Amino acid sequence: MKVQRPRGTRDFLPLDMAKRRLIECKMREIAERWGYQEIQTPTFEDLKLFTIKSGEAIVEEIYEFKDKGGRALALRPELTAPVIRMYVNKLQKKPKPLRFYYFGNCFRYERPQKARFREFWHFGVELIGSDRPEADAEVIALASTMLDEIGLKGDLHIGHLGVLRGLMRSLAPEVQRAAMRCIDKKDRQGLVKLLKDRDATLKDALLALIKSKNVDEAREIVGDVSELRQFENVLEILNALGVRYKTDFGIARGLEYYTGMVFEIYAKNLGAQNQICGGGAYRLAHLLDGEDVPATGFAFGFDRVVEALDVKMGAQKRVVVITRDETRKDALKIALSLREHIPTYVDVMGRSITAQLSYANAIGASHAVIVGPKELQAGRVTLKDMKTGEQELLTLSEVIKRIA
């Protein structure tokens, strides 16, 4: 019986993994340079962690199940809530701010389509303990730096939910939530329909705010409110750091725990599903019986980052040790020495010398090291360049200097 991989998942072949690891390692290195430390949380969590804020409706969008003890669990659909759960469980008394980064797979039960899968990966950071503009600006600048250093062009859009919500404070909570969903989905017609029979001045102001392109335009609509001044402080720091961005009050984000600054980054070559990063300032710990602590974070949709990047993998040096039956033990010892310096393969199929060389060519080996009786008697091996066909009789140390 042939078994297929589950719908919405993928297999990653060696070249795929080499590209993914190259990008992942670069992002890790950048995060650590900025003072962020790696953490990891469980792949599955208590279902309440995700329903406590988003409501029971989210159950339709995630993988939830009961274990053999009858406990309601869920595969994590995102990583911010698990990180804050860990913070509440273990880290509330630690000196602040806390700076964390993570890389892990997440799961959502949705219709698979281009750039959307049921299993996907997030690379993200969380800065816990500060609501100052310096904290917000640092997180945004880190996301921007990651893009620049991995060589991906993207448009950074920054908004502020406090300004949006302040304008809608006269609306009932359920209408506010519906309006935010329309804004998040860029559904202008839905928003107009929702506000059709309500205050026309409010509707016009909200639509104008979403279209405004800078703080000055927003101030003409909402006035000189404190949320706008806070937002302006963040932008001033980003200007000083040379971060390129667009002001966008049409960003709402899908998760309700965001409270202030929010941002999204869009890649230039992904079509409709072009958002590769999202984040902002939020308060979530108090909903999990922790202290009410501010935090700011972001998550890159790692799969979309990989798709958007045209990563060219250079030819990797690798060696195949070619051996006869009578020199096999010596060849295995030579391979051990070579593996300290370069990826090395040894025949385990009992192939002929010709077949071993054909295999070396097939896998793209840069060199073959031929171990024969005469070479061993002379204390040497034959190094063959697989591209040019040239051969040299060298000592093992000379081989290592030549190809490592």
Parse the chain into domains and list their residue ranges. 14-308, 319-403
- In this structure, whether the domain defined by 319-403 belongs to CATH 3.40.50.300 is answered with no
The CATH-assigned architecture of domain 14-308 is 2-Layer Sandwich (3.30)
Listed residue (182, 245, 171, 251) closest to 210, CA to CA: 251
For 221, the token pair is: 């609509």
- Taking only the tens of pLDDT, the chain with its 404 residues reads 899 999 999 999 999 999 999 999 999 999 999 999 999 999 999 999 999 877 777 898 999 999 999 999 999 999 999 999 999 999 999 999 999 999 999 999 987 676 679 999 999 999 999 999 999 999 999 999 999 999 999 999 999 998 988 888 888 788 888 888 888 888 888 888 887 777 778 788 888 898 888 999 999 998 989 999 999 999 999 999 999 999 999 888 766 788 899 999 999 877 777 899 999 999 999 999 999 999 999 999 999 999 999 777 666 789 999 999 999 999 999 999 999 999 999 999 999 999 999 999 999 999 999 999 999 999 999 999 999 999 999 999 999 999 98
Largest CA distance in the chain: 95
Strand partners, 189: none
Nearest to 321 by CA among 311, 329, 331: 331
Angle at 338 between CA 332 and CA 344, to 5 degrees: 75
Q: Among residues 377, 326, 368, 361, which one has the least CA distance to residue 346? A: 368
